Chains A and B, each alone.
Chain A
Amino acid sequence: MTTVQLEHPHAQRRRTLVRGLPLAPAVVLMLVFLLGPILYCLYSAFTDMALTGSSETSFVGFENFRKIFTSDEFGRALGYTLFFTIVSAIIGQNVLGMFLALTMRAGGPVARAVVSAVVIGAWVLPEVVAGYLWLAFLGEDGPLNQILGFLHLPTQDWLFSLPILAVSLANIWRGTAFSMLVYSAALSEVPREIEEAATMDGAGTIRRLVSVTIPMVRRTIATNLMLITLQTLSVFGLIWTMTRGGPSGASTTLPLFAYQQAFQLSQLGYGTALALVLLALGGVFSLIYLRILRLEDGVR
């Protein structure tokens, strides 16, 4: 909405180049360090590379993809991945992050500083330590069950009975900081006068949020959703530490499935192809976000 149309219909190619010049440092770095490796990685998905077959690698076309889409285990892993992404990122981190950003704007400076430092702390602890911490928290005699017992609520054994929920909760805890920061920054760009005008008009808090504040940051919401979706789709270490994908494979998301295929089970091409499927999944999510954004946004 703030982009301006500065170019004349027959803009000079040269001016385009000059304008694009600031892109150069970033583009050069990415061309030098990432382009070749990425192409090489893409190539391997179409081969039968395996741990032991280094001298016999051959091009197999879409065979790896055919194997993926006809496997039952892939279907299960895809289901767990969708659950994990939707519950922990799209709902959990996103909504909680927005909620925190909004309440911090309204809250006092002390509460703001303390709570944000705690949420950031959850983010910066090493991934494996976050995993252990949640193992301890959800354990049989862990704090969660003690609190539930204190409140006379039934205790949980989610690590065993519902591991995908357990790892999703851990990922909300660990990842909310990012959404909180992004939304805090975006909200600080929203002019208070507009919100205050709405308040003067008698709009309630909720109404003001829905019809004034949130629409003003919807571009950021789309960006944030896209980034956290991609990050969450590839979460590995946290789940690996907490469950190893079990019990009975009930928390084996696609990255863990790919790891088992590629690392433990020595099927390389298959594993890389799975990584591409994961990316395609991210692409589908992104298209949905961009679509929603475009529908709501007349300018672009």
Chain B
Amino acid sequence: MTVAPTRPVRPRVARGLAGRGAANLALLVVGFAFVIPMVWVVAAAFNGTAGLSVSWPQPWTFDNFRAVLNVETTYRPMLNGLLLCGGGTLVTMVGAVLAAYPLSRYRSRWSRPFLLTILFATGLPITAIMVPVYGLFVQINLIDTVLGTVLFMATSALPISIWLTKNFMDGVPVELEEAAWTDGASPMQALRHIILPLMWPGMSVVAIYTFIGLWGNFFVPFVLLLSNDQLPASVSIFTFFGQYGEIVYGQLAAYSLLYSLPAVVLYLFLARRLGGAFNFGGAVKG
């Protein structure tokens, strides 16, 4: 690496502190830019007379939350959503990790065509696909079943999850695995004990991405589940739209905040894995 020789090297500590200050400032600015548009949804949630303009709550009230916090609108759909999306995420993760292993570890001329095919297959409009899928589900008796819906939701999330998982698995040095093989471990044992622990940050991203994608998916459960009491949280959004397009903005905003909670909590829970304190590179190359 060529380095400009004239440049004086500053003491590392001072440099680190200055860098951290600058980084914090930059984060603050970007964070501010992201928060400002959200002012509407937060203000409207506590506003007794919310409209589509940003204004200080008038009157300030919890009525919107009170109105949406009931079994019909919030509790049951949330539980259904956790069941459907949690289950779907689990199936997707297992499928994606298993599939990513051979794709990442063995070279085959089929890998790339396979990966590209599944990726592009998911680019087709889901609604177009749901028409024949509905027929299929009626035929094999999976219509209106939670199991069938979980499996389909998981399948629809698989291609991108496999892509991401393979990408992160490629980043785990194979040298670590080779040591395990010398000790007589099978590839699956190596995957479980060596690779997975090392790619937790990546797996957290796949899990969050999959969960949020499924959480926001209205159409698939709407088509595959017939009875209302099985539908997930995304469907309750329509509670706030009237026959002539009139919208109860305050309640919609309050519900949106509640609706976003599970995904944000999941993120905060997994975020510690993402922090960057984690560093295995030194184990090999240090």
Chain A residues close to B by CB (< 8 Å):
1-7, 16, 19-27, 29-30, 32-34, 36-38, 40-42, 44, 96, 99-100, 103-109, 111-129, 132-137, 139, 141-144, 147, 173, 178, 181-182, 184-194, 198-205, 211-212, 219-220, 223, 226-227, 230, 233-234, 258, 272, 275, 278-279, 282-283, 286
Contacts and interface: CB of A to CB of B under 8 A. Distances in A.
B134 to A, nearest CB: 9
A5 B105 CA distance: 9
Given A22-B98, A33-B152, A123-B212, A112 B132 contact: no
23 contacts: A19-B102, A22-B188, A23-B99, A99-B30, A104-B23, A105-B276, A107-B26, A118-B34, A124-B216, A124-B264, A128-B237, A129-B237, A133-B41, A137-B39, A143-B36, A144-B36, A181-B205, A182-B205, A219-B170, A227-B164, A230-B119, A233-B123, A282-B123
Contacts of B276: 104-105, 184, 187-188
B54 A137 contact: yes
B187 to A, nearest CB: 8
B272 to A, nearest CB: 9
Contacts of A119: 30-31, 34
Nearest to A186: B171
A189 B128 contact: no
Interface residues on B, range: 35 or more
B20 interface: yes
Contact of A37 (B12, B132, B237): B132
Interface of B: 1, 3-5, 7, 9, 12, 15, 19-20, 22-24, 26-28, 30-31, 34-41, 52-54, 91, 94-96, 98-99, 101-108, 116, 118-125, 128-133, 136, 151-152, 154-156, 158-160, 162-164, 167-168, 170-174, 187-188, 199, 201-202, 204-205, 208-209, 212, 215-216, 234, 237, 249, 252-253, 256, 259-260, 263-264, 267-268, 271, 274-276, 278-282, 285-286
A41 B123 contact: no
Given A27-B99, A121-B260, A132-B52, 16 more contacts: A3-B174, A25-B94, A34-B156, A103-B27, A105-B276, A115-B30, A120-B267, A126-B234, A139-B54, A188-B279, A193-B282, A194-B281, A205-B19, A220-B171, A223-B164, A282-B120
Nearest to B110: A20
Interface of B is mostly: helix
A108 B168 CA distance: 25
A181 B128 contact: no
Contacts of A128: 237
A188 B121 CA distance: 31
Nearest to B5: A202
A122 B154 CA distance: 24
A41 to B, nearest CB: 5
Nearest to B270: A181
A118 to B, nearest CB: 5
A-B pairs, top 4 by smallest CB distance, nearest first, are A191-B281, A106-B23, A107-B23, A22-B98
Contacts of B132: 36-37, 40-41
A103 B260 CA distance: 25
B168 to A, nearest CB: 6
A187 B277 CA distance: 11
B40 A230 contact: no
Contacts of A223: 163-164, 167
Contact of B95 (A25, A108, A184, A203): A25
Given A38-B121, A100-B30, A129-B252, A136 B212 contact: no
A203 B171 contact: no
A120 B26 contact: no
B53 A142 contact: yes
A141 B51 CA distance: 13
Given A219-B167, A234-B123, A4 B23 contact: no
A125 B155 contact: no
A113 B118 CA distance: 34
B259 A126 contact: yes
Contacts of B52: 132, 135-136, 139
A124 B215 contact: yes
A122 B38 contact: yes
Contacts of A36: 132, 136
Given A96-B30, A186-B168, A192-B279, A41 B98 contact: no
A184 B201 contact: yes
Contacts of B234: 126
Which of B106, B259, B264 is the most central at the interface, judged by chain A CB atoms within 10 Å of its CB? B106
Contacts of B41: 125, 129, 132-133
Contacts of B1: 198, 201, 203, 211-212
B205 A185 contact: yes
B265 to A, nearest CB: 10
Contacts of A96: 30
A139 B52 CA distance: 9
B3 A202 contact: yes
A42 B120 CA distance: 12
B41 to A, nearest CB: 5
Which of A19, A26, A129 is the most central at the interface, judged by chain B CB atoms within 10 Å of its CB? A26
A29 B39 contact: no
